[in-house]
Amino acid sequence: MSRIIVFDVNETLLDLGVLDELFERHLGNAALRPLWFTQVINTAITATMTGAPYRHFGEVGAAALKMVAARNDFTLSDEALTEIPGRMLSLPPHPDVPGGLKHLRDAGFETVALTNSPLVAARAQLEAGGLIDLFDRVMSVESVGVFKPDARVYNMAASELSIETSGMMMVAAHDWDIAGAMAAGCTGAFVARPGQVTNPYFDPPDIVGKDIKDVAEQIIATEH
């Protein structure tokens, strides 16, 4: 089993549910929040596939927010366009995250964060969530100018860690992130948070767990 465990950040570690109140207030429906994040990922993947110029992940989020608002006949205020992306910088971790990360580190695993967010934003998120000291490295896709699940992202991470992609395991609550990582040669661990399921089109992940604590326990158990 890989000794370097690489984690996605948004949704996997940090809880986007706190944004529901903002979507209720600014768009009239908290249920639009998960639709917005799906559109964020759709936009990021489309930008990468079409070779569009790389832009800050916050710009991707703002574009997706405008699309969701337009689909639902809402006119977004300047406050909404500032407050919703701004709140992304101070998301709380899911309750299982700190203990799960600490369990892995105590067992001798190296932990790395790899996110579509810019590095400054990623570090701010992890610091606000009290997680920064539980990571050996924090990495961002801005190093290569494309978004996950492009293979160049996982290859970049492996290169910076001085290993082959086969030497790292990607942990994420998103089927597309796991599929991208595994296609690039990584092993994969899927976090089955509520509403998240594996994609049967792709090879199954090496590990599937209900949360980070469960995934950590399974990773550690493979060594025994």
Residues in the chain: 224
Q: What angle, 0 to 180 degrees and rounded to 10, lies between the N-to-C axes of helices 32-50 and 57-71?
A: 120
Q: What is the DSSP string of 123-177?
A: HHHHHHTT-GGG-SEEEEGGGTT--TTSHHHHHHHHHHTTS-GGGEEEEES-HHH
Res 149: pLDDT? 97
CB of 64 closer than 8 Å to CB of 40: yes
Which of 167, 214, 165 lies closest to 190 in space, CA to CA? 214
pLDDT at 56: 87
For residue 92, the model assigns a pLDDT of: 98
- Give φ, ψ of 14 to 5 degrees: -105, 140
Which residues in the chain show pLDDT less than 50? Answer: none
Q: Cis bond leading into 93, ω under 30°?
A: no
Which pLDDT score, from 0 to 100, does residue 58 have?
Answer: 86
Predicted pLDDT of residue 45: 95
Class at the top of the CATH hierarchy for domain 16-89: mainly alpha
pLDDT digits (tens, 9 = 90+) for 113-163: 999 999 999 999 999 999 999 999 999 999 999 999 999 999 999 999 999
> Tell me, what amino acid is at 23?
F
**Degrees to nearest 5, angle at CA 141 with 22 and 154:** 125
What region does 197 belong to: left with phi over 0, alpha with psi -120 to 50, or beta?
Answer: beta
Is residue 133 within 8 Å of 113, Cβ to Cβ? Answer: no
| pTM value > 0.85 | yes
Contact of 93 with 13, CB cutoff 8 Å: yes
pLDDT of residue 57: 87
**Is there a cis peptide before residue 149, judged by omega within 30 degrees of 0?**
yes
Fold agreement (4-15+91-221, 16-89): no
**How far is 66 from 142, CA to CA, in rounded Å?**
23
For 97, the token pair is: 């995250």
CATH 3.40.50.1000 holds for 4-15+91-221: yes
What distance in Å separates the CA atoms of residue 55 and residue 33, rounded to the nearest whole number? 22
Beta strands at 4-7 and 187-191: parallel, antiparallel or unpaired: unpaired
Domain spans in the chain, listed from the N-terminal domain onward:
4-15+91-221, 16-89
